[in-house]
Structure 1
Amino acid sequence: MPTTPVQTIVLDSDGGVDDIAALWYSLSCPGIRVAAVTSTGGNVDTSTAASNLARITHLAGKPGIPIAIGEAGSFGPHPVLKRANAIHGDDGIGNTGRSAPDWEPSPMTATDLLAQTISRFADELTLVTLGPLTNVARLIDEHPDVISQVGQLVVMGGTIELQGNALPIGEANIAHDPAAAAMVATADWARPPLLVPLDATLRATFGPDEFASLEQRATAAAQDLADPISFYRRMGGTFSPPGESPCHDLTTVVVAHEPELVDAPVLPLGVDTGEGLAWGTTVVDRRLPFFEAAGADTRQAIPEQMAPWRVALDINVEATRARYRRLFEGWDESGNR
């Protein structure tokens, strides 16, 4: 029986509750190998984010994974946003007071570690971003030649048809650094990146079965995540039905590993940097399928600030929830729960 190749990923993360859930999944899933981790500011500062992530790599028995601390500050101007401590806690992990063991961050900058890892793995590598896109914009700025080597970019961010969370129509990761997101949107990627917006993550929530599975604390991941997620769901579920809560970054890693779980048409995508009401929002040109169906004579110009992206507009909710339960209950020898 043929074996499925192991997927090599790099995580760029702002170290909140759903971030550590995503890292736990990446370190636990038999089909994923984490090559490196970089921290970015968002839920907490870059140093705290890195410590939160390092704690998970140690608990998962993989302390050798290099973790680089991202540079503080945004790539460009951004809207004033409320701090995320009501959702993630002052420490980013639900005010649990847990600290990382003694660990040494990579001596490299986040952008240099990203560039080195991309050069090493090239087309085999999936770069998954779970926070503001500051590090990736700086990577494009400092190492423009490596961008086209990335096998696949997967971004948690944005909203297409739903309301925003940080702004009326703006999602937090994009709104934290719109200039960075705009640069990433139109960079010279080898293939269209995959955006996992709120449209997907607010559908594939934790429901009663997932919370019950988590509370059994049957795996090291469940034992570690039960308290932070209990804190997170009180405010993180603001836009979800009663009894449900999203876990945005966990959803994104699941989708990065199994992209067939989403319906993701290729559409022109850009980011508003205009400093008005739509500042920090993702803009998708939904006209393209209509133009293609009607013929060339109807086609209008696609704005130059846009580039082709795969946009996850729908998701297989039950299959995705089954992946969450694998994290909480464990995989069998074949990689299945």
Structure 2
Amino acid sequence: MSPQNMMIVDLDAGTDDAHALLMLLAADKRQEIKLMGVTCVNGNTSMKNVCLNVLRILRSVNRLDIPVFCGAVDPLILPNPAAPIVSFPSFHGSDGFGDANLPNPPDINLVKSENAICALNRIVSENPGQLTLVCLGPLTNIALAIKTFPNFLTQVRDVYIMGGNSSGLGNMTPSAEFNFFHDPESAHIVLECAQKPLVILPWEACLNRGISFEWRNKVLGAIESPQMELMNAAEHDIWKDYSEWLPCDALLTAVALHPQAGKGKLCHMSVELSGWKTRGQSVIDSKHGKPNVNLLEEVDLEVLKKLLILAMEKY
């Protein structure tokens, strides 16, 4: 196995994070990558729920050998009490897994005692130039690692991020995507400190790549395996008001595993930190700033579907 195929995934364990993690685990099983660990961040749900959901996923495919680390429990800056109130995200349910009342919760003590920010730096520094980061939630852990360990980002091979937007269209507010809105300061730090273009999948590119529920339920969902049973239960109710399935984190992960599956453009991205109605919105500059992102515009859905099917096959 090439050492350049080492990966760490940083996530907040909603249901699309779960599909993405299962894709990475299946690729690890095929020896296409080496998954070095899972770092958890607050976002879709509380830190405890994020860790429990990750452990549920690992247990479903008998991969509790993959180390799990607990990271930031809050964004860098807590919301201003005078700012407009935005309710805690509930799309994935209060527990991140559709409030499905899943039985037999895993042992939370399986989470490693080492903090995620320290683990990120340790694993990266032990394998300089060989680690790819796949970032599926708010960027708090990554920003803290950058600010705590000056050489951290210089030793990372590639960074893939699901977050931000490309045309001011949001899913958390009218102008901001959830991951960047949840912790704009962290997004700002990561963008400004980029050593080379970060690969970013924005919200709009996800909207353009929806999958029919006929395929999700009758093809993918019909696979008989513990992990598919888990995902069917977690997603049973959350998509009922939608016309297409949008597994955003899985879309990004397909590109991380097969870079040729994504098409994008180089540009400069920053994030608005103080706008009353635009906090967390990405600002794109294709003419003036030095390119710091490869902004994905298309993802090959056939590649994604193949990877999802491989991820759900019984081990």
TM-score (norm 1): 0.84
Q: Which runs of 5+ in 1 are unaligned?
A: 289-300, 332-337
How big is the shift at 1:255?
A: 1.4
1:166 to 2:172 alignment: yes
- Computing the radius of gyration from Cα coordinates, the structure with the larger value is 1
* Aligned-pair identity (%): 24
Q: Which runs of 5+ in 2 are unaligned?
A: none
Residue in 2 aligned with 1:314?
Answer: 298
Residue in 2 aligned with 1:115?
Answer: 121
**Structure 2 SS opposite 1:89:** coil
How big is the shift at 1:4?
A: 7.8
Give distance in 2, aligned partners of 1:264 and 1:77. Answer: 33
Closer, same or farther in 2 for the Cα pair 1:89/1:219, shift >3 Å?
Answer: same
- Stretch deviating more after TM superposition (135-144 or 116-125): 116-125
1:196 to 2:201 alignment: yes
Misfit runs of 4+, over 4 Å: 3-6, 77-80
**Structure 2 SS opposite 1:312:** strand
Once the two structures are superposed, the pairs formed by residues 156-305 of structure 1 within 5 Å of their partners are 156-161=162-167, 163-189=169-195, 191-207=196-212, 208-235=214-241, 237=242, 242=243, 244-286=244-286, 288=287, 301-302=288-289
Closer, same or farther in 2 for the Cα pair 1:44/1:58, shift >3 Å?
Answer: same
Give distance in 2, aligned partners of 1:277 and 1:140. Answer: 28
Closer, same or farther in 2 for the Cα pair 1:329/1:37, shift >3 Å?
Answer: closer
Residue in 2 aligned with 1:294?
Answer: none
Give distance in 1, aligned partners of 2:36 and 2:236. Answer: 29
Say if 1:162 and 1:199, in contact at 8 Å, map to a contact too: no
1:274-301, Cα deviation, whole Å (9 max, x unpaired): 2322110111113x2xxxxxxxxxxxx4
Say if 2:8 and 2:133, in contact at 8 Å, map to a contact too: yes
Once the two structures are superposed, the pairs formed by residues 38-53 of structure 1 within 5 Å of their partners are 38-53=39-54
Once the two structures are superposed, the pairs formed by residues 118-157 of structure 1 within 5 Å of their partners are 118-157=124-163
How big is the shift at 1:23?
A: 1.1
- Stretch deviating more after TM superposition (221-230 or 109-118): 221-230
- 2:9 pairs, out of 8, 11, 25, with 11
1:92-142, Cα deviation, whole Å (9 max, x unpaired): 111122254224221111100110111122222110111111111111111
- 2:87 pairs, out of 69, 82, 86, with 82
Residue in 2 aligned with 1:334?
Answer: none
- Stretch deviating more after TM superposition (214-223 or 108-117): 214-223
Task: Give the partner amino acid of 1:36.
Answer: G
Task: Give the partner amino acid of 1:316.
Answer: D
- Stretch deviating more after TM superposition (172-181 or 312-321): 312-321
How big is the shift at 1:327?
A: 2.7
Say if 1:41 and 1:49, in contact at 8 Å, map to a contact too: yes
Say if 1:39 and 1:49, in contact at 8 Å, map to a contact too: yes
Number of positions where the alignment pairs a residue of Structure 1 with one of Structure 2: 305
Residue in 1 aligned with 2:59?
Answer: 58
How big is the shift at 1:257?
A: 0.9
Say if 1:17 and 1:232, in contact at 8 Å, map to a contact too: no
Give distance in 1, aligned partners of 2:198 and 2:164. Answer: 13
Give distance in 2, aligned partners of 1:43 and 1:200. Answer: 20
How big is the shift at 1:202?
A: 2.0
1:222-269, Cα deviation, whole Å (9 max, x unpaired): 22211212223225x3xxxx2x11011111111111121111211111
How big is the shift at 1:50?
A: 1.1
Task: Give the partner amino acid of 1:263.
Answer: K
What is the RMSD computed on CA atoms of the aligned residues? 2.2
